Structure 1
């Protein structure tokens, strides 16, 4: 395992392309990443986190243009992406090609898609493989006394030691300040629907859409 500064993204990209796992900081917390088309690599994340396979990983798209090539994007989805990407919003989107969806089974159909700022977004732009990602923690670790996803390299190390997950590269971004989730909006049907509140506030989503958004 190599712990490297965020400006050495080329090493993380090479590891992903080789089928290995990497861990990347965001403003929210650390994320563990794999090639979204590499089933064994994605499976090792599910198994290490004890995460149900029905609970999809998030696909990190390098740009809205790339997203438009892969997914059917409604008018409301366009407006939300235009307002909040890159940022702390994820959209559930239907695949244009069901076969492509099958090749990215770890991120689901519809897929959970985000365009992230910082090192994670830069890595998505650099690597030749699509990135599937999730938080660095045991799945379901959200009780009142639970620490939640890792927000520092030390907590990442604790997770790796506890689970036996093999990550080749860890980008050391220090302590993540926001400690909150992505907001998730389901845009797979005509009317967008709030799935989970997070850093992008519900009122901000409603202001962009010009209507109340139902959960």
Structure 2
């Protein structure tokens, strides 16, 4: 396992392409990443995190144009993407091609999709394969002392010790300040539905769509 600086992201990208796991910092917390089309690599994340198979990883798109090549964006989905991407918002989007959905089962159908700022977004832009990501923590409620996903390198190493996951590269981003979730909006139907609130506030989603949006 190698710890690198954010300026060495090509190393992380090559590891993803080779079917290895990488951990990167975000504004929110550290994320563990794999090739979204590599079933073994993505599957190892589910196993290590004890994550239910129906709880998808997020598909990190490098640009809105590439997102449109693979996914159907309705009018409201497009408004949200144009307003908040890159950012702390994920959209549940229908695939254009059912074969693509089958090849990327780890990110679900509809796919949980985002265009991330910072190191995670740059990793997606540099990798020659699609990037799937999720938080660096064991899934589920671990009790009242659970602090949630890792926000420091020490917490990353504690997670790896518990999960048993073999990670090739960790990108050192210092302390992740926000310690909060992405907002998730379901855009599978023409009228978007708020699934989970997070750093993008419900009021911001409402303002972007020009109508009241409440959690479903």
TM-score of the pair, normalised by structure 1 = 0.98
Matching residue of 2:122:
122
Instruction: Give a deviation string over 1:137-195, Cα, whole Å, max 9, x none.
Output: 00014644311000011100001111110000000000000000000000000100000
Instruction: Give a deviation string over 1:106-140, Cα, whole Å, max 9, x none.
Output: 00000000000000000100000000100000001
* RMSD, aligned CA: 0.8
Query: 204-213 or 135-144: which moved more?
Result: 135-144
Distance in structure 2 (CA, Å) of the matches to 1:55 and 1:199 = 20
- Describe the shift of the 1:92–1:48 C-alpha distance in structure 2 as closer, same or farther (beyond 3 A): same
Query: 116-125 or 136-145: which moved more?
Result: 136-145
Segments of 4+ moved more than 6 angstroms: none
Is 1:159 paired with 2:159?
yes
Q: What runs of 5+ residues in structure 1 fail to find an aligned partner?
A: none
Matching residue of 1:39:
39
Matching residue of 2:63:
63
Q: What runs of 5+ residues in structure 2 fail to find an aligned partner?
A: none
TM-score of the pair, normalised by structure 2 = 0.98
Distance in structure 2 (CA, Å) of the matches to 1:37 and 1:68 = 18
Matching residue of 1:82:
82
Query: 141-150 or 100-109: which moved more?
Result: 141-150
Matching residue of 2:206:
206
Matching residue of 1:192:
192
Matching residue of 2:96:
96
Matching residue of 1:170:
170
Is 1:24 paired with 2:21?
no
Distance in structure 2 (CA, Å) of the matches to 1:78 and 1:96 = 15
